[in-house]
Structure 1
Amino acid sequence: MITVVGESLVDLIEEPADGAAAYPGGSPANVAVALARLGQPTTLLTQLGDDAYGRLVRAHLAASGVRLDPASVSDLPRTSVARTRVGADGQARYDFAIDWPAFPAGALTRVGAGSDCLHTGSLATVLDPGAGDVVALVRDRRAAAMISFDPNCRPSLTGDPVRARHRVEELVAVADLVKVSREDLDWLHPEQPPDRVAQGWLELGAGLVVVTLGAEGALAVTRQVARRVAARPVTVVDTVGAGDAFTAGLLAALRDRGLLGADRRGALRAAAAETLAAVLDDAARVAALTCARRGADPPTRAELAALPAPA
């Protein structure tokens, strides 16, 4: 089982002809959906309102096979919303109306119990007061589960990059796998090349750092090796959820190769360059299929298997 912790929301994606169309989203929720569609047993801890958008998200999660953790907050006055504008290049830009309150006392006692991996990231790890609960949960579960973290920075909400960098590095220090975009690194560490930041994060404690580089592919770095792969060619409809699909693809690929779980930390850190290249390519294929469709609509395992192998 993989447990994902973080926000669910509705993406209101602006359509030129029809105004805004509502799609279920939220970075951690997207990761959970993508994992479940890839055949990974997945539980999501999140916070939703009991409104039309909340019901839309719940139906989406259930249809994809995601289990909603019983500790998920379900009595918010509203479900969080992101208004998404897609440029001519397919790149998505976001404005948020999101709530992430503290969890009820004692609610997280059993969250993640029995999971071999806990993934978190995005707004749930930086928006207080709920972010403090998430960080405490990660620290508590680290002894029994591999920790995966994607900062997925949103400057419009987090504001100060210095403060955000402190929280990000607090989680990097306890994470086994960190996936981050070059866009995030440009904001967190301007004028530093991605490989240098990745090496610094390894020094903080991460076992594997993966940097997505958009059309230039992706980079994986451990203390022993570094490996880069090219991007998958795709006709981009939009990039909504592409990074989340990549993260899910990484986790699924690591599990397929026996590299997921607290007892596999040493193996992950010692993974060969060829193994990392194969993992990156699997993740890139998941992201490419997501980019070819509107909204955060990741592929199933069957759809991924039908994609031609790389030349």
Structure 2
Amino acid sequence: MKIGLLGTGFGRAHAAAYAARPDVENVVVFGRTPAKLQPIAEQFGFTTTTDLDEIYGDQDIGLVDVCLPTPFHADHAVRAMEAGKDVLCELPLATSMEDAHRVVEAQRATGRQAFVDLFARFSPVNEYLLKAIADGTYGPLRTWESEVRTALLWEGYDLRLDSLVMDAMHSELDLFATALGRPESVTALGAEGAWRGSAGEALLLYPGGVLARCAASALMPKTYGMSGGSRAVFADGVLETEFAGGAQGQGRTRLIEYTDAGRRPLDLPERDTYAAVIDHVLACLAGKETSRLTPESALDGLQITLDVRRRINDRA
């Protein structure tokens, strides 16, 4: 398979995943500046270009991987499918529901496969938590909290409130949507000032009085890296997670179970979620798996994220 990879920022993580696969014959990486393309070419041996038309005009490219800034996601996802190519789109899918629906409609019209890189769905910890909620393993869910704290780890990229919600809160809000659907109400607050980062928090109320909380802060010093976790409180137990990581993503995530029987760490397999997404996408393209990452499945999580962003900006 030949792949067109758009973007030299987070695209580097995708490039590393492709380089590790023997079934990917060639990757052509698009970037705006040769200086940012050169390290990718040197590290992975991939072809690079500053001409987007080379990607879309190459009949041998079967998959376009869109890792450009979020405002460009929908346009390039649609363009890829209209050019007869399948597409993997970095999250969030779009910056508006109108654009997100354009992607869904383009997929239906072209018959191409489209995927959204909602990598948090592939974390073994999150898979366990989602299954526990669905199966009622610990009784009904009462509250669910998640929090991410990070330094500004990406050169030249500030996490003001607009980008904080879309980049740091969206994955967790998608998990809420995957498990619980859309909430009855959303409340959100945020803080930003002369500094480059920001902090925000959202409260989501679901039927039956289930309360979900999502918080993110990009006000940490560079030495802090990234960390966070979640806590799901059920009628008959608690599941608590924690993780630490850096610019390249999450490190090891721990999951602790608390019940009347005591405290028990749950030993789950380690998984590189970025590589797992690409494994899944290529398996779907080969007809071996059914997609868990369709644009349609991303709509509820995106709607919640946009609602949170609007309320935070209204109050900031």
Taking structure 1 as the reference length, what is the TM-score of the superposition? Answer: 0.37
Pair member with larger Rg: 2
Structure number with higher strand proportion: 2
Taking structure 2 as the reference length, what is the TM-score of the superposition? Answer: 0.36
